[in-house]
Amino acid sequence: MSSKLIPATPAFLDDGTPFSPAYDDIYHSAAGALAQAQHVFLRGNDLPQRWRARRLFTIVETGFGIGVNFLATWAAWREDPNRCERLAFVSIEKHPFRAGDLRALHARMVAHATLAPLAAQLADAWPVLTPGLHRLEFESSRVTLTLAFGDALALLPKLWLRADAFYLDGFSPAKNPDLWSPPVFKALARLAGEDATLATYTCAGHVRRALADAGFDCTRADGFASKRTMLIGRFAPRWRLRRHEPPQPFAAVERHAIVVGAGLAGCALVERLAARGWHVTLVERRARAGCEASGNPAGVFHPLLSRDDSLASQITRTGFLYALARWRALERAGHAFARSRGGLLQIADDDEHARALGAAIAERGYPPELVQAMSAAQARDAAGAPVARGGWLYPEGGSLDPAALCSALCNEASEALSWRAGVQAQRIERQDNAWAVFDEQDACIARASIVIFANAHDATRLAGLRHAPTRIVRGQLTCLPLPAAPALRLPIIGEGYAVPLTHALLTGATYDIDDAGDDLRAESHAENLTRLAGLLPGLDPAIAARELALGNLAGRVAFRCVTPDRLPMIGALADEAASARQASTLSGAWPRDLPRAGGLYGSFAFGSRGLVWASLGAELIASQLEGEPWPLERDLAEALDPARYLLRALRQGIVVAGEA
């Protein structure tokens, strides 16, 4: 369960140095934030020299503060002609500033001509202040900033990455002892790559001893300004400290991947891999992208609130915010996919539901940019029509055209994408160091080191998975002509949903489990209209009934793929045969213990949340392939692991040694 995030309060000493009232300490030396960042953290970690000729260089910082260390590092990366291809910066901050406060602080502090435009980009990209991880991208995604908002003691064990350098920059050990404690340093050691370095302004004896106990060999160096000495170090453990090594990039023979399925999941993968320099062959049984559930006239997107802030809520919130960032980048690049503005309104199921979630919003301090509780009167004014009761407005929620989004994602990939449309992937086969995908005539469609299954319910068949249960859900939509429908100002959800289109009101969808019928049904239209009337009491039932009786209702049937726990399958696939052979030793296994099917990944079973999960799922898989920091906490990623059902079966003794 996430805790309430308390933003930082801007304050200054008489000389203008930014100051934290909560910790009674300054954010940087009075001698200058940029100079301190360059001396202590860049030179202390031998940067930029150490990142040269590297594909990826990852830095972990404890204490983001005002962000000057990140800005200085980003500026140094830009100015270095021999820079690494990709720079990943991960920073933890318990009390982040609000975007407006950060912008004002930068205006006072960042007068340097090189840093000022970077500071403006950072403020423009600054995320909604919610707990957890936020992935920001700059320089065409070549520079990533992963902000971890919350307590370091809770968040550090949930990060999954391989760090090349550490910036230890919390408030002083005397003012913020938790951030300089042995548990923090041990958590950093679990993330340290070979010969990872660290730098910090403090030389406190207990800090040096705790770092040594965690495996860091530290020495004193010349300090900055009035501080005579500082501490630099290198990860050099004298004994094994960890059970699992930090992640490495997948050893691909060539940067070529096959993606099966051109819905939202597959097209998001195409764009995320292409942004990293991969070539992608996209295999789709239909003639174009977005023909299955992604071909619906519109889809809605919004966070998921729950009283206990469940795993599903946390994953959906992260996915929602990341998707918004990716869509804005696409729109800046000139792509359009009919994304609505003005928010999305959720109608509470009943008065108890409204009270409970209203209390949860207040208790967790969710900012109004994410969600706003609304009375019935406020909801009616927002919707522009009578509504059943109050609920919540998601200011950044809304609707868009999923097929147009699929096209935008593929177009953004440009020449990195090769299309194989109108082809059914029938089977896969391992050939030397690559995988081959064959069609129904047993002709090879494509061959690559990586195959990613984004083909919904057919993924488990094609991948040969026995322990990845999915089911199909038939969903019929109804288009109610505008003369018969209330004129809504924004999309509405609740028991069903209503999306205003130019020519109709889109409503639905039915939820028919294990129903493979693709026929339009009058009873399904009637079911959709009944739910719509429950949301919009101003709907004239006689008019709706007449339209139904006259057969004037258009609609569409599509099929969703769901898992028993209603979470998607995202990540590396397990080697089920190898796991069966080792069943006796894997009965108490954790996800990282399982053997994996080298080069096989999945991104499917998104149910009705493809819009908010597809981008995050693609970023997670791309990060796994590249050995980059994961874009969400490890426990959340493990909840999405396609091997989670195999893991449960092993723990329950259902998988026996020798099972084929």
CATH of the domain at 511: 3.30.9.10
Note the pLDDT of residue 92. Answer: 98
Cβ proximity of 529 and 495 under 8 Å: no
Residue type, 562: V
Pairing between strand 256-260 and 279-284? parallel
The range of the structural domain enclosing residue 640 comes to 256-291+403-469+564-651
Q: Which residue has the tokens 């969808």?
A: 509
How is residue 211 written in tokens? Answer: 């770092």
For residue 124, being part of any structural domain is answered with yes
**Amino acid code (one letter) for 601:** Y
Question: In the sheet where 56-62 sits, what is the strand order?
Answer: 132-138, 143-149, 86-93, 56-62, 163-168, 192-200, 229-235, 216-222
Q: How far apart are CA 111 and CA 94, in angstroms?
A: 26
What is the SS3 string spanning 269-298? Answer: HHHHHHCCCCEEEEEECCCCCCCCHHHCCC
Q: Is the dihedral of CA 633, 639, 643, 649 positive or negative?
A: positive
Contacts of 242 (CB under 8 A, 6+ apart): 189, 190
Secondary structure class of 232 (helix, strand, coil) = strand
Q: Which segments of 205-252 does DSSP mark as H helices, in order? A: 205-213
Cα–Cα–Cα angle for 158, 631, 68, rounded to 5 degrees: 90
Q: Give the chain's largest Cα–Cα span.
A: 86
The confidence score (pLDDT) of residue 624 equals 98
Are residues 569 and 486 both part of a single domain?
no
Whether 122 is in a domain gets the answer yes
DSSP string for residues in 54-73: -SEEEEEEE--TTSHHHHHH
Same domain for 628 and 613: yes
Would you state the structure tokens that stand for residue 540, as one six-digit string? Answer: 């004239």
The position carrying tokens 């893991």 is: 647
44 and 155 both lie in a single domain: yes
Token digits of residue 123: 């403020």
The answer on 206 and 69 residing in a single domain is: yes
> Which among 270, 363, 265, 371 is positioned nearest to 317, based on CA atoms?
371
Q: Is there a single domain that holds both residue 118 and residue 221?
A: yes
pLDDT of residue 32: 78
* Same domain membership, residue 375 and residue 271: no
- Position 334 in a domain: no
Q: Does residue 299 sit within a domain?
A: no
The reported pTM is 0.97
- Whose tokens are 């200054």? That residue is 12
Q: In sequence order, which residues have a C-beta less than 8 Å from that of residue 197 and are 6 or more positions away?
A: 44, 45, 46, 50, 164, 165, 166, 232, 233, 234, 235
Question: Could you give the CA distance from residue 653 to residue 631 in angstroms, rounded to a whole number?
Answer: 33
DSSP 348: -
User: Can you read off the two tokens belonging to residue 250?
Assistant: 């997948």
pLDDT at 658: 56
| Residues 519 and 375 placed together within one structural domain of the fold | no
Report which DSSP code applies to 593.
G
- The amino acid at residue 20 is S
Could you say which of 537, 562, 587 is where a domain stops? 562
Question: Are 568 and 556 contained in the same domain?
Answer: no
320 domain residue, yes or no: no
Q: Do 36 and 63 reside in the same domain of the chain?
A: yes
Which structure tokens are listed for 318? 């992260």
Q: What pLDDT score was predicted for residue 112?
A: 67
Same-domain check for residues 48 and 169: yes
State which of 547, 562, 577 marks the end of a domain. 562
CA angle 420, 442, 596 (to 5 degrees): 80
611 burial class (0-12, 13-18, 19+ CB within 10 angstroms)? buried
Q: Residue 462 belongs to a domain with what CATH number?
A: 3.50.50.60
Ranges of residues in the chain whose predicted pLDDT is under 50: 1, 660
Best CA proximity match to 620, nearest among 333, 242, 315: 315
Instruction: Tell which residue, 524, 542, 555, 523, has the closest CA to residue 484.
Output: 542
Shared-domain flag, residues 82 and 58: yes
Residue where a domain terminates, one of 562, 577, 598:
562
If asked whether residues 379 and 520 sit together in one domain, one would say no
Residue 24 lies in a domain: yes
Instruction: With beta carbons less than 8 A apart as the criterion, state whether 62 and 171 touch.
Output: no
CA distance 94 to 150: 4
Number of domains in the chain: 4
Distance in angstroms (rounded) separating the CA atoms of residues 605 and 271: 20
How far from each other are the two terminal CA atoms of the chain, in whole angstroms?
39
Distant-in-sequence, close-in-space partners of 189: CB < 8 Å, separation ≥ 6: 214, 215, 216, 235, 237, 241, 242
Amino acid at 249: P
* Phi and psi at residue 421, to the nearest 5°: -90, 160
- Select from 410, 315, 45, 409 the least CA-distant residue to 197: 45
- In-domain check, residue 339: no
Specify if 336 maps to a domain. no
